[in-house]
Copies of this chain bind each other. A is one copy, B any other.
Amino acid sequence: MCRWLAYGGDPIAMDTLLFRPCNSLIRQSLYAQRAPAPTNGDGFGLGWYGAIEKPGLYRDTMPAWNDANLRSLAEQIRSPLFFAHVRASTGPATARLNCHPFRYGRYLFMHNGQIGGWAEVRQEIERSIRKELYRYREGSTDSEAFFYLLLGNGLAEDPERAFARTVRQVTDIMRAEGVADPFRMTAAVTDGRRIHAVRWSSDGRSPTLFHGNGGRIDCKGSMVEFGDGGGCTIVLSEPLDEDAAHWAEVPEGSFLTAEAGRVTVTPFHPR
C-alpha cells in the first residue's frame, strides 16, 4: 500500500502540501495513519507541470523522509498541478523505474493498490499493451502496466470509459487465469489540465480516497488553510491534517474529476 497526493489550482510551492502539514505526504512516508502498514519507504516520486507541456519527473529509491533533494525541489518549484507518491512495494523491486508517478507524453499516472495474482496474470496483461506503447515500459509493476493499458484504451478521448475498459480487461484476465485474490485500486491520472481519480476494488475494500477544495491553499502552522471561494483541489490517500471539515471521503466505487477547482464524483461500476 502506498500513499499519494494530487494537487490542481493556483500555482503553489510543492512543500506546502508535501512537507508542512502535520500529516504531510512526507510524514505519511514514515507514519501513514490509514494504511495497513505505516511505512512507505520503498522509494517516492514527484511529477509536476511547469513551463512546457511535458511534466517534470523526479523519482528516487531513498525513503522520501530522507531525501534532501526532494525537500529542495519541493521548496523551489511552484506548480499549478502536481502528483506525489510514496511507495510501499507489494513485491516488485525498489528501483526508480518502479516508482510512481509514471509519465507518458503529457500524462502522469499513479496508483495505490494491487492487481491480485500479478505473477500469474502479468505476461498476459503485458501482451495486451499496444506495441507502440509497450516500448516505453521500463519496470515490472502492475501499476505501470495498468497505465499503458489505460492509454491504449482511449484515455485521451474518454478517461472514465478508458478506466472501465481497462478494469474489465484486467479482471477478465484474472478470471481466465483463475486468480482469486482481489483487484484493488485508488489511482489518479492527469493530462496536465484535469485530474481523474478512481476508487474501486473487486471486493469492496479499496484503499481510502479523499479530496479537499477551496480558494488559495496554504499551510498555517501544521494545518492546511483553504481560502474562500474555489479553484484549488487536493485529491489524496489520507487527510493532511485533523480538521474533518477540510476533507471529504470519496466512496468505494467512484470516479472523480477535478478541473479548474470543480470536483465531480460519480459512481464507477465497470462490471
Contacts and interface: CB of A to CB of B under 8 A. Distances in A.
Contacts of A62: 61-62, 94
Interface in A48-66: 48, 50-52, 54, 56-63, 65-66
Contact of A66 (B54, B68, B94, B137): B94
Nearest to A49: B76
Contact of A92 (B41, B59, B92, B138): B138
A131 B127 CA distance: 12
A247 B95 CA distance: 38
Nearest to A70: B58
B60 A76 contact: no
A249 interface: no
Interface in A8-57: 13, 30, 38-39, 41-42, 48, 50-52, 54, 56-57
Contacts of A42: 63, 66
Interface stretch (A118-126, A149-157, A193-201, A209-217): A118-126
Interface of A: 13, 30, 38-39, 41-42, 48, 50-52, 54, 56-63, 65-66, 68-69, 72-73, 75-78, 89, 92-97, 119-120, 122-123, 126-127, 129, 131, 134-135, 137-140
24 contacts: A13-B51, A41-B65, A42-B63, A48-B76, A51-B78, A52-B76, A56-B72, A56-B73, A56-B76, A57-B68, A60-B69, A61-B62, A61-B66, A62-B94, A76-B77, A95-B96, A119-B135, A122-B134, A123-B126, A123-B129, A123-B131, A123-B134, A123-B135, A139-B139
